[in-house]
Chain A
Amino acid sequence: MKKIISMALAVLLLGGLATLFASCGSSYDGEINVYNWAEYFADGSGGTVDVVAKFEEKYNIKVNLTTYETNEGLYNMLKSSNSNYDVVFPSDYMVEKLKNEKLLTKLDLAKIPNQKKIIDRFTNMDYDNGNNYSIPYSWNVTGLVYNKTMVKGKPESWNSLWDKSLSGSILMFNNSRDAYAIAMQMCGINPAAFTKADVDKATVKLKEQKPLLKKYAMDQTFTEMENNQSAIAPYYAGDIYTMMTNNEDLVGVLPEEGSNLFVDSMCIPKSAQNIDGAYKFINFMTEPENSAANMDYITYASPVDGAKQLIDKDVADSELVYPPDSYLDKCYTFRDVDEDVYSYMQEQFVKLMS
């Protein structure tokens, strides 16, 4: 008897869940599949605006959001699976790669009137001049963060990541492109475009650094720095701003030699099903008000004219989130690199770690 009752309860529970799922989405006019970085839309938490819900309400289109971790993950998904995403968010070099491999739809800018509000610098990027395939969503630069109680002096250059006196408490990017970019800058190579020989030179530089490192880290940089576990680390400047609000001893620096200006953009893959919905979505996210809401949440900079004035003043005033134009002129943006060279770099990076 007990068994029958518990079975019945289990069935009821599952049935309840099923109806709960089924009851959503019945009254929408359509749906779009959005594939974005994790935590990349303001989601309504902590007093922010739930931008996606706002879109759903305005256009009565359901948004199915899935997330990815790396540009390469996105690429593999678009290249080798039968996915049907309507809007994706690749970074600069990945836009160019996807464009070159004919995986993106050429945009009809008339359907994205807000594109005119994109700041000139970001419509004229080399990877997609004129925004024919991508509409910039966010941008930022890489920078340095250090703990002033653990570092003597004021680091101003990437050089500090090779500082022997900090041995054992230095972190380094755990992704090949960002790690190699810093090493290449140190070797006087342009990280935007490089050859295998350049990779080899940078590898030597990184090998020199390895014994000084505490670890290669990505997300862990947050906890490592905020909990005073490491002295210095490279990271994305907007995230450094967030770390600084959580630990007063942390200082963010824009390295004097310049750094990587990265742009994440919205694109429509060739395989998209609901292209109209995708255009509406992209246009909606390019509205200054909505861009500001998202940027408030992720603390990266908005490429939309007029958005900066709408975001939190402390964020807008931070040089880390909005570096001055004079600094941006010193920065480089990644370009698509030959497949062969790119996988060579990745291979060397894994070898370096093993």
Chain B
Amino acid sequence: MRLKRPTIPYIIWMAVFTVIPIVLILLYSFTDRSGNFSFEPFIKAVGYTNVFLNSLWIAFISTVICLALSYPLAYFMSRLKRSTQNLITMLIMIPMWMNFLLRIYAWVTLLQNNGPIDTMLSLLGIHTQLIGNQGAVIVGMVYEYLPFMVLPLYTVMSKIDYQLIEASGDLGANMFVTMRKVVVPLSVPGIISGVTMVFVPSASTFLVAQYLGGTKDIMIGDVIDKIFWSDQNTGSAIALILMVAILFFLIILNFFGDEEAIAT
């Protein structure tokens, strides 16, 4: 493909903010402290395998929950009056205008001992520890990334021609079959971009686990953050492994739909 002059600013942008940083990460992860070629950062990075797998697991669960919650919501939204649709989209967007950390703080207040939820449950005779465990971390993640699942699904679904659903009904399909044979296949691009937009950032997120989790809940993002204090090489190596894992995930996802649906 021949380059056209107007693309030059974008090429510079990509070079400065994408290519050079990635090259630097590569460079750091294959050198030791004094700058010599070494595999040491990767050997050290292997020590965090359990955290790594745990993060992917938490991201996976969060993505599944987000999908399960968003799919029906997006479907019903797309069947509503236009103005109501806009209203609901707005309501989903509004929390995103607030700082991410403040929203996590809000969850800390909600879930803490003698907080509103705990008090209500105590009145019903249920006494549990709501915060400081993996469940709380997942709640925080789902809350944080739900809009990123709802919006692409909703966009795709609102484009589905209602006549197709009617036709399916006329041909004798019940609601369930219509869903399975018509709506789901047509919404695959939305599912793929939603899953990408939730899974990728949640696998690498940090602070959520520090605020909502206990001593056992640490995610790979937190490890990278902490290790960077004193050892950029190992930090870069972990970041690189995470990038490769995510790339791998995107390639697999690629098999399920057409390329354009993937938001990277």
For window 204-228 of B, CB contacts with A under 8 Å fall at 210-211, 213-215, 218, 222-223, 226-227
B47: Cβ under 8 A from any A Cβ: yes
Set of chain A residues within 8 Å of B210, measured between Cβ atoms = 174, 215-216, 220
Interchain CA distance A353-B222 in the complex, whole Å: 10
> Bound complex: CA of A99 vs CA of B206, how far in Å?
33
Q: Which of A39-47, A111-119, A316-324, A342-350 contacts B (4 or more CB under 8 A)?
A: A342-350
Most buried by A among B215, B223, B231, B232: B215
Is A220 touching B47 in the complex (CB atoms < 8 A)? no
A72 on the interface (CB 8 Å rule)? yes
Chain A residues within an 8 Å CB radius of B114: 228
Interface residues on chain A, number (Cβ under 8 Å): 26
Number of B residues, CB within 8 Å of A: 26
User: Across the interface, which residues of A come within 8 angstroms of B218, CB to CB?
Assistant: 353-354
Q: Given contacts A72-B230, A354-B50, are A220 and B132 in contact (CB under 8 A)?
A: no
Residues of B within 8 A of A73 (CB): 229
- Asked if residues B226 and A215 are in contact (CB atoms below 8 Å), the reply is no
Minimum CB–CB distance from B53 to chain A (whole Å) comes to 11
Residue pair A346, B215 in contact (C-beta under 8 Å): no
| Complex CA–CA separation, A70 to B227 (angstroms) | 13
A349–B218 Cα gap in the complex (Å)?
12
- The reply to whether A346 and B226 contact each other, CB–CB distance below 8 Å, is yes
Residue of A nearest to B225 (CB): A350
Given A228-B114, A350-B223, check contact A342 B215 (CB 8 Å): no
Q: Which residue from chain A places its CB closest to the CB of B222 in the assembled complex?
A: A353
Contacting A215 at CB < 8 Å: which of B48, B132, B222, B234? B132
With beta carbons under 8 angstroms apart, the residue of A223, A347, A354 that contacts B230 is: A347
Is B85 in the interface zone, CB < 8 Å from A?
no
Distance (whole angstroms) from the CB of B148 to the closest CB of chain A: 26
Give CA–CA (A339, B48) in the complex, Å. 22
| Contact indicator B227/A346 (Cβ below 8 Å) | yes
Residues from chain A with a CB closer than 8 A to the CB of B231 are 343, 346-347
B214–A343 CB distance below 8 A: no
Is B113 interfacial (CB-CB < 8 Å)?
A: yes
* A→B interface (CB under 8 Å): 70, 72-73, 76, 174, 176, 210, 213-216, 220, 223, 227-229, 339, 342-343, 346-347, 349-351, 353-354
A-B contacts besides A227-B112, A346-B226, 7 pairs, CB < 8 Å: A76-B232, A215-B132, A215-B214, A220-B108, A229-B112, A354-B48, A354-B51
Interchain Cβ contacts under 8 Å between A and B, 19 examples: A72-B229, A73-B229, A210-B215, A214-B132, A214-B215, A215-B210, A216-B215, A220-B211, A228-B113, A228-B114, A342-B230, A343-B33, A346-B227, A347-B227, A347-B231, A349-B226, A351-B47, A353-B218, A353-B222
